[in-house]
Every structure is written in C-alpha cells, then in structure tokens.
Chains A and B, each alone.
Chain A
Amino acid sequence: MNAPAIVRLPPRPPAALARLRCLSCWIVAAVIALVVASFWSLDLRWSAFLEPDARSSMARFLSEFFPPEHAPRFLASLLAAAGETLAMSALGTLLAATAALVLCLPAARTYPAARGLLRQPMRFVLNALRAVPELVWATLLLVIAGLGPMAGTLALALHTSGVLGRLFAESIENAPPDAGAALRIQGTGEARIFLYATLPQVAPQLLSYTLYRWENNIRAATILGVVGAGGLGQMLSFHLSLFQMGKVASDLGAMLLLVLAVDLASYLVRRRMAQA
C-alpha cells in the first residue's frame, strides 16, 4: 500500500496591496476622485448655516409658514390648480404611453432573428427624448405652445415617452418568445403576432411601468409650473416671489396631498393587478 498522497498546492502569491488589473478597484478610485473633486470645486457655503443669525433667520422663515392660508376662496383656487396639475400628469403619461407603444416596436428586436435595422437609431431617439429633463422641454415648448398647462403636458409627454419607450422595448425583448414563435411558424403576420402573442404577455408589466411613471410625473408636474406651465407650481412660485408664506405653506400642503393620493391610487391598482 502506498502512503496516502499528499496534495501539494502551489504556494499562494502574497496578497497584492493593489491589483492593477482589478477593474472594480479603478472604478471605486474614480468614484472617490469624482466625489472629492466635486466637493472641492463647488463654492459650497456650509458656514452660512453656522452663523449666529442663520438659525434665527431659518426659524423666522419657518414661522412665517404658520398659519397656512385657509380662506375658502383661496382653497377653491388651490383645488382648481391641483386639478390642473393632476390633469397635466395623467394626460402627459397617457400620451407618453401611447407614443411609447408605437416607438418601442422599431426599438426592439421582436424575435431573435429579427434584423432590427431601426433598433439603434430608434434607441438614440428615445435616449435623446429622455436626456432632456421635463423642465427643459417645458421651456422649449413655452416658446412654441405659449404659456399654460398644455406646454407642461406636452413636456411631460415628450420626456416620459423616451423613458417608457425604452422600458417597453426592453420588456418586449425579454418576453417569452414561445407563443410568438408558434404563430410565426404558422405564417402569421408580425402585427398579429404582436397583438395576440407578445402584447398580452407584457401588458401587465407595461401598465405597471406606466403607473410608476405617473407617480414620477405628478411630482414633475408640480414643479413645471415654476417656469409658467400652470398648476400648483405656478401658484407656488407666484406666492414665493410675493413672500406670501402662508399661501406658500398651503401650496406645499396641497402638493404633498396630491402626490400621496396618486401614490396610494397607483399602489392600490398595482396590488390589484398582482392579485389578478
């Protein structure tokens, strides 16, 4: 009988202090450098918060919020503005979902062997739509559509269709291909395959993305008013510029309530969809 063989492992190299080929280490170093450079290059004035009169001025500023304005006539105008904001966000999201449903098809490879000639150009268009923030779209559209909530609605729709188009395209590419492949073998046209095989499978996810963007858009719609696109934001910036802090407090309260209500509605719809 031989003695049991002893497995000799090659000696481990000493742990390197820094591995030059470790990509993650380089990324972490770059992130730290970016953060340090950012703090260093901005002229941040934290000392303004430490000055003796800063606390009193902040306290005075906050105390001006009370009592919030609650005259019935003001509350009625607040309600109208909240309705305008709600309509802007809902309509903008709906327009965006419709546009995204059209734009996502060229941007997706609907089946693995598809040629997808338009895929890259369409993705570029969607990225460009998404890259420009809603507020910037709104300032551009104010020139074209004039002051008012329509410019805000279109601005929300443009930015959101970029976001949703990309998400829709990705969920179409990730959909289970079997049902579509079965129809494709039978010689069914691509439009019908999308309507009867792909869309029913991805519809819940598309709806869930749309609801999520609606939650985002109600927040965005409240601030669009600051550049003159109507709704609660317009009242807020108007009252802030006149230093009517009681009214500002009511505006902020209305924004909070509206955002929370939309969040709740969207949560309830999504929970019901998850149960169904």
Chain B
Amino acid sequence: MPMVHGPHALPHLPLQSPRRVAPLRPPRQDPAWRGRLGMAVLALALLWPALQASEFRPWEMLDAHSLSVAGRFLAGFVPPAHGSDFLLLVAQATWRTVAMATCGVSLALLLALPLALLASSALSISSLGGRMATGPAVLRLAVRTALVVLRTVPELVWALLFVRVVGIGPTAGVLAIALAYAGMLGKVFAEILESSDTVPARVLLGNGSGRLQAFFYGLLPQCAAELTSYLVYRWECAIRSSVVLGFVGAGGLGQRMDESMKMFAGAEVATMLMVFVALVALADALSTALRRNLR
C-alpha cells in the first residue's frame, strides 16, 4: 500500500451528516456456522461407533441390582480400616511401592542418560559443518527407535514378560519401570538438550573438546533444572506405575489393594485410597519445593 504524506493525504470523503451513514449491522448469524456445524456432525459420526464399541451404557449402573451392590461396597468404606496391624501392613506396602519406583527410576536414569547423549543431535561433531554424516545419522535413528520401542511397550507388559524369568517379586517390577521409563526419559532428555542454547556446546566441539566435555560444560549447566524437574515428575508417575505393577504380583500397595478388592473389604480399600492421595500430594509438594530451589 503506498504511503501518502502531506496535506493531501486524506481521501476526499463526500461530506455527509452522520445520520446518513448506514448503521453498522453485525451479522445476525455466526459467519462460520457451516464449518462449525460440519465439524459437530463429523465429531458425532466419529463418536457413535466409539460409544458402541466401548459398550457405553451408564444407565445400566442405575438399576436396582447394581445400585445395591455399589451401595453395599461403598457403605463398607466408612470407617476406613485403622487397626494397628493393618496400618503397619499398609506402611510396609507403601514403602515397598515407593522403593520399587525409586529403584526403577534410578536404573532408568542410568540407562537413559547415555541413550539421550547418543540420540541428541546437539552433540554431533559431524553436523558442525552443515549436514550430519550418514553414519552418525543412522546411529541416532537407531537409538531413537530403541527408545520408541522401550517406551511404547507398557510397563505392565514388560513386567508380565519378566515375571516369567525372575518369578513373582519386585525384581520384575523394578526392571519393567527401568525399561519403560528409560524410553521416556531418554526421549525427553534428548529433546531438552536439543531445545537448549547449543552455541556453547558447538563452540567447545569446534575447538576440539570431546562430546562429554561439551555436554558437561556446554549443555548441562543450562539444562540441569529442567532435567531434574522432569525426573521428579516421572518419579511421581513411577509411584503410580509401581502401584499398578503390584496387581501382577510385584508386591506393595497394588497387591494389597488387589487382595482387599477380591475380599470386598471396603474399609481396607478406603484406607489405601487415602494413602494414594497422600503419596501423590507428598510427591507434588517435593517437586514444587525442588523446582523453586533450582531456579
């Protein structure tokens, strides 16, 4: 659009009294209604088979029989079980759950750090001169694929597989968490390293430092807070995972929960649900405190 300067900049408007200007009429209809209606119909058409496939009939929960079963089960929740024997048992199970998550995440970290360093293109020497060479590119692709496989198989499936080798017990659970979480941590760590400011690391690499030196002095100082914060978040997730793994025999809260559910012991279930809430609240508070400290 050409800019016009000077006294003749204004176009010659016909002089009109304000009354004769046509009033601004906002459209009475939503101008985008066709698109919106189309999307709504499409969404419903997609939703219908989903409702069918998941046998989603919530009203069936409201018939007299289901209600009486649910009512009896829920009535057992109050008061929660609080015998000292039971509380001791729950405390032991809770520690076992937390310990399994902690062991799993520490092993996952040991596995994920080298994989992340291998996968991250921020530490590539050959890409300093433009394109990455073929060999390193293939290696990085292979490591990334390994990470995808590690994290795509759910930890419960890893556990079911390891149980066959080591038998029932925490070893299978710890290994399952270690493998699945190594996949997640490795991927996200590599992404964090790549999204940071890579100039210091590149300068170091260009001046002949090794990749590890470039990592420790160029990348780690700026990424440490973010890496730690993600690790703590994953630890919280691992606590939930280790509860789930208890259901397949890894021990801890999940196993106790499974036993109590099978006996319809609502009071015990209620106590354990409260422990879950407390555990997650604790992990939450810890991660908030850590993040505030790292800033």
User: How far, in angstroms, from A47 to B47 measured CA to CA in the complex?
Assistant: 51
Does B157 touch A at the CB level, under 8 Å? yes
Please name the 7 residue pairs, one residue from A and one from B, whose CB atoms are nearest each other, closest first: A131-B280, A38-B99, A87-B53, A87-B50, A38-B102, A144-B70, A223-B156
Considering the chains assembled together, what is the distance between the CA atoms of A139 and B293 in angstroms?
Answer: 39
Please report the C-alpha to C-alpha distance between residue A49 and residue B162 in the assembled complex, in whole angstroms: 10
Q: Using A27-B290, A91-B50, A150-B58 as known contacts, say yes or no to A133 and B157 having CB atoms under 8 A apart.
A: no
Interface residues on A, range: 35 or more
| List of B residues within 8 angstroms of A150 by Cβ | 54-58, 60
Tell me, in angstroms, the Cα distance from A34 to B254 when the chains sit together: 21
Say whether B281 contacts A127, CB under 8 Å: yes
CA distance A131 to B281 in the complex (A): 8
Given contacts A24-B294, A87-B51, A145-B60, 10 further A-B pairs with CB under 8 A are A48-B167, A135-B243, A136-B254, A143-B70, A143-B261, A150-B58, A219-B154, A240-B160, A252-B157, A255-B152
- Min C-beta distance of A220 to chain B, whole Å: 8
For A139, the chain B residues whose CB sits under 8 A away are 247, 257-258, 261
Residues of B within 8 A of A152 (CB): 54
- Let me know if B247 and A43 touch, CB within 8 A: no
CB distance from A215 to the nearest CB of B (A): 11
Q: Which residues of A contact B280 (CB under 8 A)?
A: 127, 130-131
Stretch from B25-33, B80-88, B168-176, B200-208 that touches the partner: B168-176
- Cβ of B69 < 8 Å from any Cβ of A? yes
- 17 pairs from A and B in contact (CB 8 Å cutoff): A35-B103, A38-B106, A43-B169, A54-B165, A61-B164, A87-B49, A127-B280, A127-B281, A130-B280, A131-B281, A132-B273, A133-B243, A136-B244, A139-B257, A139-B258, A220-B154, A230-B55
Which chain B residues border A153 with CB–CB below 8 Å?
Answer: 54, 56
Residues of B within 8 A of A38 (CB): 98-100, 102-103, 106
User: What total of chain B residues lie within 8 Å of the partner, measured CB to CB?
Assistant: 64
A165 is an interface residue with CB less than 8 A from chain B: no
Pair A132/B277 contact, Cβ less than 8 Å? yes
Known: A87-B50, A150-B57, A150-B58. A27 touches B293 (CB 8 A): yes
Q: Is the CB of A226 within 8 A of B248?
A: yes
Residues B81-122 near A (CB distance < 8 A): 95-96, 98-100, 102-103, 106
Binary interface profile of B, 161-201, with partner A (CB < 8 Å = 1, else 0)?
10011110111001000000000000000000000000000
Give A200 to B116 CA distance when docked, in angstroms: 37
Q: Is B66 an interface residue (CB 8 A)?
A: yes
Most buried by A among B53, B55, B70, B167: B53
Say yes or no: is A58 at the interface (Cβ < 8 Å to chain B). yes
- Is residue B73 within 8 Å, beta carbon to beta carbon, of the partner chain? yes
A208 to B248, CA, bound (A): 33
Name which residue of chain B comes closest to A229, CB basis. B54
Complex Cα distance, B55 from A83, in Å, reads: 12
Q: Count CB-based A-B contacts (< 8 Å).
A: 173
The answer for the CA separation of A222 and B46 in the assembled complex, in Å, is 21
**CB contact between A255 and one of B61, B96, B153, B264 (< 8 Å): that residue:** B153
Chain B residues numbered 222-279 whose CB sits less than 8 Å from any CB in chain A: 240-241, 243-244, 247-248, 254, 257-258, 261, 264, 269, 273, 276-277, 279
The CA-CA distance from A44 to B107 in the complex, in Å, is 13
CA distance A61 to B241 in the complex (A): 25
Q: For B54, B98, B257, which residue has the most chain A Cβ atoms within 10 angstroms?
A: B54
- Residues of the A chain whose Cβ atoms lie less than 8 Å from the Cβ of B152: 219, 255-256, 259-260
Closest-by-CB residue of A relative to B266 is A143
Please tell me if the beta carbons of A255 and B154 are within 8 angstroms of each other in the complex: yes
Residue of B nearest to A227 (CB): B247
* B174 proximity list for chain A (CB < 8 A): 42, 44
Report A-chain residues with C-beta under 8 Å of the C-beta of B294. Answer: 24
Q: Which residues of B contact A146 (CB under 8 A)?
A: 60, 66
Flag whether A45 is at the interface (Cβ < 8 A).
yes
Bound-state Cα–Cα, A172 to B73, Å: 38
Asked if A164 lies at the interface with its beta carbon under 8 angstroms from chain B, I say: no
A149 is an interface residue with CB less than 8 A from chain B: yes
Which residues of chain A come closer than 8 Å to B102, judged between CB atoms?
A: 34-35, 38
Residues of chain B with a CB closer than 8 A to A144's CB = 61, 66, 69-70, 73
Closest to B277 in A: A131
Least CB distance, B208 to chain A, in whole angstroms: 31
- Kindly provide the distance from the CB of A123 to the nearest chain B CB, expressed in whole angstroms: 10
Chain A 28-41 per-residue mask, 1 if CB under 8 angstroms from chain B, else 0:
00000011011101
Distance of B291 from chain A, by nearest CB (Å):
11
Q: Once bound together, how far apart are the Cα atoms of A95 and B118, in whole Å?
A: 40
Cα A54 to Cα B167 in complex, Å, equals: 11
A103: interface (CB < 8 Å): no
Contacting residues, chain B, for A54 (C-beta < 8 A)? 165
- Chain B min CB distance to A134 (Å): 8
Residue of A nearest to B281 (CB): A127
B16 → A minimal CB distance (Å): 30
